[in-house]
Amino acid sequence: MDLPPITNGFELVYQKPQTLTETPMHYCPGCGHGVVHRVLMEVIDEMGLQDRTIGVAPVGCSVFAYEYMNIDVQEAAHGRASAVATGIKRVLPDRVVFSYQGDGDLAAIGTAETIHTVNRGENILMLFINNGVYGMTGGQMAPTTLLGMKTTTSPYGRETSLAGYPLKITELLAQLPGSYYVTRQAAHTAAAVRKLKKAVQLSLQYQLLNKGTCFIEVVSNCPSGWKMTPTESNKWLEANMFPIYPLGDLKTPAQPMN
């Protein structure tokens, strides 16, 4: 029996962008990755950049980002996404290039590559998903794990004498002359998603104008790693993560730090 399309009699106002594939995402219920993938791909679709965009996927939960993004993608070694993106952008300067990394990837093992990519002012977008935990390997402590926060490798809570402090790498990167636009966003509410989308749009516009590195941190949740329901994790995000990682622009063309 052929069913009529569900949109019959209705006006189609919102649909999946063709820059996302049909592959069902493997992310846990409530995870922010799917939303960020969608926002990024929606902007690439709306700006007509699908045929000239190359993404770089990390090692972490979003290791399979290329299964969902209907664009050319390279899968990098752990921590090296921005070095791979540098290699691509330097030989194809007229393409749009972005890297997509989590906190362990970008702010622990890949710290040197992160800092030097931004310091060279590589003309790329670096997307940084910070949920304070290594999700894929099962919830270990990340450089951005909050003090007192329990993970599988900080079972009694992160403590400074052993593990130091939450690394605010975005603040650090904003100090570098090579960064052009540095912002911290979220993806857990409709309002946050709208702001994130604007940040992605600006970043890609700046990239088309060869302005330098654009860096977006998305402070996100990890219901599985935090051992919470999605709703609880979003409340915990607001109550605990945002005070340490406050949302907003750290550096804009109108308000450069340097």
Partner 1 sequence: MTNKVMPTLDKTEVRLMKGNEALAEAALRAGMQAYFGYPITPQSEVIEYLMAEQPKHKNCVVLQAESEVAAINMVFGASGAGARVMISSSGPGISLMQEGISYMASAQLPCLIVNVQRGGPGLGTIQPSQGDYFQATKGGGHGDYRLIVLAPGSVQEMADFVFEGFRLAEKYRTPALILTDGALGQMMEKVSLPPLGSLPYPDTPWATMGKKPGEKRHIITSLFMQPEEMEEVNMTLQKKYRLIEETEVRYEEFGVDDADVLLVAFGLVARICQKAMQQARARGLKVGLLRPITLFPFPEKRIAELSARVASVLTVEMNAGQMLEDVRLAVEGRCPVHFKGRMGGMIPSPDEVLEAIEAIAEKHNVELQR
Chain contacts with partner 1 (rule: CB under 8 A): 50-54, 56, 63-64, 66, 70-77, 80, 83-92, 95, 112-113, 115-116
Residue (127 or 192) nearer to partner 1, CB? 127
Give the Å distances, CA to CA, from 95 to 137, 179, 220.
Answer: 33, 19, 28
Least distance from partner 1 to the Cβ atom of residue 3, Å: 29
Torsion region of 220: left, alpha or beta (phi above 0 gives left; psi -120 to 50 gives alpha): beta
CA distance 210 to 207: 5
Exposure of 75 by Cβ count < 10 A (0-12 exposed, 13-18 middle, 19+ buried)?
middle
Per the structure block, which two tokens stand in for 127?
A: 């997307």
Residue (76 or 129) nearer to partner 1, CB? 76
Residue (70 or 183) nearer to partner 1, CB? 70
How crowded is residue 53: how many other Cβ atoms within 10 Å of its Cβ? 23
Least distance from partner 1 to the Cβ atom of residue 79, Å: 8
Least distance from partner 1 to the Cβ atom of residue 117, Å: 8
CB 138 within 8 A of CB 107: no
Residue (132 or 178) nearer to partner 1, CB? 178
Residue (84 or 222) nearer to partner 1, CB? 84
Length of the chain: 258
Least distance from partner 1 to the Cβ atom of residue 143, Å: 18
* CA dihedral (220, 104, 250, 214) positive or negative: negative
Q: DSSP for 95-124, please give it.
A: SEEEEEEEHHIIIIITHHHHHHHHHTT-SS
Least distance from partner 1 to the Cβ atom of residue 194, Å: 27
Strand partners, 141: 133
Residue (90 or 227) nearer to partner 1, CB? 90
Pairing of β 179-186 and β 248-251: antiparallel
Least distance from partner 1 to the Cβ atom of residue 202, Å: 22
Least distance from partner 1 to the Cβ atom of residue 141, Å: 23
Residue (115 or 147) nearer to partner 1, CB? 115
Q: Looking at this protein, which amino acid is placed at residue 63?
A: V
